[in-house]
């Protein structure tokens, strides 16, 4: 009997048996606590490989300390019996839980996030599990997940020669494991995808023969995560468990939330087609009002407006945007009268829940917005945050409001011409209502972009951005975008990270759903202070709300560039271009990812095409960098000369010049340009982190000196 050979433990009951040994529940009589004993029977000890794996499990797991990984107390051999004493977990395995049927989505995601966190810890210690499956995940009564059985675990030693041996459990193994090739962390991520699919479907997956099948009702975001885990090529999967965890945390926890909605652009039925800005503005303000309602998931404007002019079925829209309801409407404006119609539709069956029509004076437009919002909230049975109006009235001057509506879409075209046009509308709005806080905030955002992209003398741009933000906040301290601009100005102009963080966090607290706020907090705080996994999580959260936005895909792609996951970056850049074939920022960065992968002819072709079609300094700089790094210095110097010529009459960020010098290997010139960039307050210096071709520069002692100048040295 086992109990007589292990004097310090009293066996209570047998818990199970597997290929690696028998597991007992036992009492540690020295410490008076229950433990789980895994015992390798004497007849198995003769198998040296089995014993080696038994010892490997103990060593692997004991090297880890994490709430979601089983704790190893001891490993010993007594009277010829090898055993491991480990934490006793009261509960049942995920395999036993799935036997009851599919795991509800919110529950499955809770378990998945914990398991991903455990894998991240193990992988961070260089340990690959290699046998992740439901039977090796224990779930306690209060929902805590514990990762078990490191019997096949292996320290990740890239230099070690491995024999072709199939290790793992059929049905969960990655393709490379099934073929006997060495496994790395991405093999565990494949197994994880199989476990997630089994939780959602309630049945063991068959993955190596074809595409995985997902049960009806799984949100697209969750399915996308699982499919990426299950990609046949390791380079197409999540590259780290930490990144996987971030993606899971951004997924919706309900298959079809009763409180999710997309507001489509309202049709402009006015005789004057120029009034489309008004119909769009009305829909945007309803979106803004609804985002203030706790518990209501609202799709962002970019994704909702992607369906403008398309004959899309509401069910298709609901699937692509992962919403259960659609609001559509129309606006007819004539003189000082306006007619607005709106209807709320269920995406599951196209059923109309509510519709209404308003014939009012134009001055009543704010009341109409609030009535629409409250009607939706009532129909969806969402709890309101108090009785205050949902559609906030920032001005009583309808003419100023109309000017603001015309200014808003111009801001996010990010060209000098569009920003100048936006500022013209906003200046006229302020002239009509000097107390219009939102218009001042809009001016602050315009000058922020003018300064950041170098469309005007940079110091002047930052000064004006700060001034308008401060005026906006003096009129309305709750304007999140103004706080964000102020935070960016503190960082880019003053290199004051403490004040910058304070303002950016304040902005996020006020309105985390704002694209301006989220992107600024992410880019200027999370990225620049090295919080890369938090940054990726924020990008996934934004993308879940705005899945059809080229900007959000480009934003995530840059984070993959940041973490040097170039295949994934190219995939996200291509998604952005698929959504908007003219999205020049995506076209511009793809050559850098191709170059990093050694795909030089492709990088050159894409860079040349981009520079030829977009005559911006940034396009010339990126192309010059590619030329230099690809061994074509003459072409690189030609573009460098052209940029210097442009700089005679217009501002060219010194950072762009530094890129070409980096491609040419002219390190001293790079740091000379960076010194000029610091002095000029060139915001583009914060983009350097995303450029892999500067990795060699970052090893130079002068780079630390550069970071000290912007108060960012480690």
Q: Which residues are catalytic?
A: 131
DSSP conformational letter for 266: P
Cβ–Cβ under 8 Å, residues 290 and 390: yes
Chain centroid offset of residue 524 CA: 15
User: How far is the C-alpha of 315 from the C-alpha of 346, rounded, in Å?
Assistant: 8
- Minimal CA–CA distance to 601: which of 609, 694, 235? 609
State how beta strands 154-155 and 127-128 pair: antiparallel
CB neighbours (10 Å) of residue 567? 15
Task: Supply the DSSP string of 88-132, one letter for each residue.
Answer: ---EEEHHHHHTTSPPPHHHHHHHHHHHHHHHHHHHHTTEE----
User: How far is the C-alpha of 624 from the C-alpha of 496, rounded, in Å?
Assistant: 33
Q: Which pair of tokens denotes residue 74?
A: 């001891």
Residue 243 is inside which H or E element, if any? helix 241-249
DSSP conformational letter for 364: G
What distance separates the 2 farthest-apart alpha carbons in the chain? 97
Burial of 326: CB neighbours in 10 Å, binned 0-12, 13-18, 19+: buried
Burial of 12: CB neighbours in 10 Å, binned 0-12, 13-18, 19+: middle
What's the order of all strands across the beta sheet hosting 33-40? 9-18, 21-28, 33-40, 81-87, 72-78
Which residue(s) pair with 346 in the sheet? 325
Residue 449 is inside which H or E element, if any? helix 437-452
User: How far is the C-alpha of 340 from the C-alpha of 338, rounded, in Å?
Assistant: 6
Residues 6+ apart with CB under 8 A from 93: 134, 135, 136, 137, 138, 139, 148
User: How far is the C-alpha of 20 from the C-alpha of 70, rounded, in Å?
Assistant: 16
75 to 10, 146, 155, 283, 454: CA distances (angstroms): 16, 19, 19, 65, 64
Cβ–Cβ under 8 Å, residues 225 and 244: yes
CA 289-293-296 angle, 5° bins: 110
Cβ–Cβ under 8 Å, residues 44 and 93: no
Alpha helix (H) ranges present in 476-531? 480-492, 497-510, 515-521
Angle between helices 480-492 and 497-510 (to 10 degrees): 160
First to last CA, the chain: 59
């Amino acid at each position: 009997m086992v109990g007589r050979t292990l004097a310090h433990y009293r066996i209570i009951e047998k818990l199970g048996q597997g290929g690696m040994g028998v597991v007992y529940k036992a009492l540690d009589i020295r410490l008076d606590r229950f433990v789980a004993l895994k015992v390798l029977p004497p007849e198995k000890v003769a198998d040296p490989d089995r014993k080696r794996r038994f010892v490997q499990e103990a060593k692997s797991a004991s090297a880890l300390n994490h709430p979601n990984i089983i704790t190893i107390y001891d490993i010993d051999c007594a009277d010829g019996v090898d055993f491991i004493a480990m934490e006793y977990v009261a509960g049942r395995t995920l395999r036993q839980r799935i036997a009851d049927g599919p795991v509800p989505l919110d529950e499955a995601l809770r378990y998945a996030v914990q398991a991903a966190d455990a894998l991240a810890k193990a992988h961070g210690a260089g340990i690959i599990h290699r046998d992740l499956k439901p039977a090796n995940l224990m779930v306690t009564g209060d929902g805590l997940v514990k990762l078990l059985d490191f019997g096949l675990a292996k320290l990740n030693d890239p230099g070690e020669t491995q024999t072709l041996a199939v290790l793992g459990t059929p049905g969960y193994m990655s393709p490379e494991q099934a073929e006997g090739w060495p496994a790395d962390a991405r093999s565990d991520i494949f197994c994880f995808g199989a476990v997630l699919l089994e939780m959602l479907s309630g049945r063991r997956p068959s993955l190596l023969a074809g595409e995985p099948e997902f049960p009806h009702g799984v949100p697209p975001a969750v399915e996308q995560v699982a499919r990426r885990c299950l990609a046949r090529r390791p380079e197409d999967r999540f590259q780290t468990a930490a990144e996987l965890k971030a993606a899971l945390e951004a997924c919706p926890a309900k298959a079809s939330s009763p409180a999710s909605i997309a507001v489509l652009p309202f049709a402009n039925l006015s005789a004057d087609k120029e009034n489309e800005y008004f119909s769009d503005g009305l829909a945007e303000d309803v979106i803004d009002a609804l985002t203030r309602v706790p518990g209501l998931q609202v799709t962002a404007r970019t994704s909702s407006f992607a369906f403008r002019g398309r004959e899309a079925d509401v069910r298709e829209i609901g699937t692509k945007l992962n919403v259960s309801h659609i609001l559509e409407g129309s606006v007819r404006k004539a003189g000082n009268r306006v007619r607005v119609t709106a209807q709320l539709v269920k995406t599951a069956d196209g059923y109309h829940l509510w519709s209404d029509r308003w014939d009012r004076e134009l001055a009543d437009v704010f009341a109409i917005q609030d009535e629409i919002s409250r009607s939706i909230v009532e129909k969806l049975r969402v709890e309101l945050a108090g009785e205050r109006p949902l559609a906030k009235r920032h001005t009583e001057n309808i003419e100023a409001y109309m000017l603001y509506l015309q200014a808003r879409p111009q801001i996010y075209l990010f060209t000098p011409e569009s920003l100048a046009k936006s500022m013209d509308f906003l200046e006229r709005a302020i002239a009509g209502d000097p107390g219009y806080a939102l218009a001042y905030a809009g001016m602050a955002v315009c000058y922020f972009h003018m300064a950041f992209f170098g469309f005007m003398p940079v110091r002047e741009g930052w000064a004006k951005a700060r001034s308008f933000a401060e005026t906006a906040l003096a009129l309305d301290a709750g304007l999140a975008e103004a706080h964000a601009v102020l935070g960016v100005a503190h960082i880019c102009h003053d290199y004051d990270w403490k004040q910058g963080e304070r303002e950016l966090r304040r902005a996020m607290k006020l309105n985390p759903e704002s694209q301006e706020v989220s992107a600024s907090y992410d880019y200027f705080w999370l990225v620049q202070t090295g919080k890369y996994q938090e940054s990726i999580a924020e990008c996934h959260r934004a993308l879940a709300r705005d899945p059809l936005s080229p900007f959000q895909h480009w934003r995530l792609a840059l984070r993959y560039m940041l973490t040097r996951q170039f295949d994934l970056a190219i995939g996200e850049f291509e998604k952005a271009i698929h959504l908007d074939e003219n999205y020049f920022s995506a076209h511009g960065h793809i050559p850098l990812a191709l170059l990093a992968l050694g795909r030089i002819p492709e990088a050159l072709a894409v860079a040349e095409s981009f520079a030829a079609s977009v005559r911006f300094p940034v396009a010339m700089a990126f192309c010059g960098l590619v030329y230099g790094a690809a061994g074509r210095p003459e072409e690189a110097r030609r573009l460098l000369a052209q940029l210097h010529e442009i700089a005679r009459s217009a501002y060219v960020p010194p950072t762009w010049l530094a890129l070409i010098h980096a491609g040419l290997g002219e390190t001293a010139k790079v740091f000379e340009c960076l010194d000029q960039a610091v002095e000029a307050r060139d915001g583009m210096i914060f983009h350097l982190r995303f450029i892999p071709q500067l990795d060699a520069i970052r090893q130079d002692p002068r780079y630390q000196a550069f970071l000290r100048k912007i108060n960012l040295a480690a």
